[in-house]
Amino acid sequence: MITKEQSGAFYTGQYRNLLAEYGYGEQEITERLEQTWQEMFEGDEDTRIYHESGEDMGYMMDTGNLDARTEGMSYGMMMAVQMDRQDVFDRLWKWTMTYMYMTTGENAGYFAWSCATDGSRLSDGPAPDGEEYFAMALFFASHRWGDREAPFDYGTQARDLLRTCIHRGEDGVGYPMWNPDNKLIKFIPNCEFSDPSYHLPHFYELFALWAYPEDRSFWKEAAEASRDYLKKACHPVTGLAPEYAHYDGTPNHVRGFGHFFSDSYRVAANLGLDWEWFGADGWEREAADRIQAFFADKQPDNYRRYTIEGEPFEEKALHPVGLLATNAMASLAAEGPNARASVELFWNTPLRTGVRRYYDNCLYLFALLALSGNFRIWMP
């Protein structure tokens, strides 16, 4: 029997199509999803962010910085596995392994977070949000399509990567991506603070099932630790989280990143998806309601940087489409009066075009997948 605490899609196999619940037609939803994929992956130069490279590789370009990032590469792989596009997935993964994977030095086993589009490295450091999305996308690929020869032995690649993420540094070389004591993900391996938007307890629940057996208890504890951490990092009135935060959840203002800005937007989306998949913590519903209530009287063309208490800065949001998309994705958890309006605002907003479109449109496609019931757990 499925209990109230086990009401998520992981237990029921049922994914809410919130768009259909709000009255949009099934064919209209399907066409919108296919059109969005086409524009981002096959469209003209003012819309696409995916580019093929050579005979069997491809990359996702950050159009604002003209580079390829582990964030975008791993996002593209997740999009591809959800859309059943193994050809695109394999091209992205081969590009990642060819140019980003590091085999020497303190970061061996991780991926360089930024490369030029010709594959040359712009950094020798990793960013944990890429690694966790790589691992999850690889597990889903393994379960949906089956494993092949390396590097397309997806499941082994995922397990090896997760092992590196939590055991790197035990031999005195390098650093793990999760703090081994409090089980919280770091902003980068060689620091001791976090980024609330990196916290994906819904991924860690699955890592606890599919990682190497000796690592599974760590991931179960990490899921619980991240849910507790988000309660501390999200403001109790506005629901807003800072981009950087200390391990106690308080804003870390190093380099000015202790406010609500671009990274922070993802927290709302993560709350929605964790609730959709696992329904583990009713607090997520309250937080989603608070975030949506905060933005209910604000127009996207006037979104700004905010303190987590909600005080606006003069600086406008760099990614307003991404922000409204993640707020809509929070409707998977929200119960309040702004859930439907948030989804309708998203539906009535087109993909962003132009220089800054990369981050916005990645979040847009994730929201569209989730709100249509197509951001799914692929089981073995």
Q: Would you name the residues annotated as active-site residues?
A: 71, 263
Tell me the sheet residues that pair with 50: 60
User: Of 344, 364, 341, which is closest to residue 353 (Cα–Cα)?
Assistant: 364
User: Of 303, 337, 307, 336, which is closest to residue 322 (Cα–Cα)?
Assistant: 303
Does residue 151 have a cis bond before it (omega within 30 degrees)? yes
First and final C-alpha spacing in the chain: 21
Q: What φ, ψ does residue 254 adopt, rounded to 5°?
A: -60, 130
Secondary structure string (H, E, C) spanning 323-350: HHHHHHHHHHCCCCCCHHHHHHHHHCCC
Give, as one character, the DSSP assignment of residue 100: I
Per the CB < 8 A criterion, the answer to whether 148 and 157 are in contact is: no
List Cβ neighbours of 188 (8 Å cut-off, separation of 6 or more).
125, 126, 127, 128
* CA gap 179, 108 in Å, rounded: 18
CA 84 to chain centre: 18
Question: Which helix H or strand E contains 172, and what residues bound it?
Answer: none
Q: Which residue has the tokens 């619940």?
A: 21
User: Of 163, 203, 177, 194, which is closest to residue 113 (Cα–Cα)?
Assistant: 177
Q: Which residue has the tokens 């990645």?
A: 362
List, in sequence order, the alpha helices (H) in 146-280: 154-167, 201-210, 216-233, 265-278
* CA gap 55, 60 in Å, rounded: 16
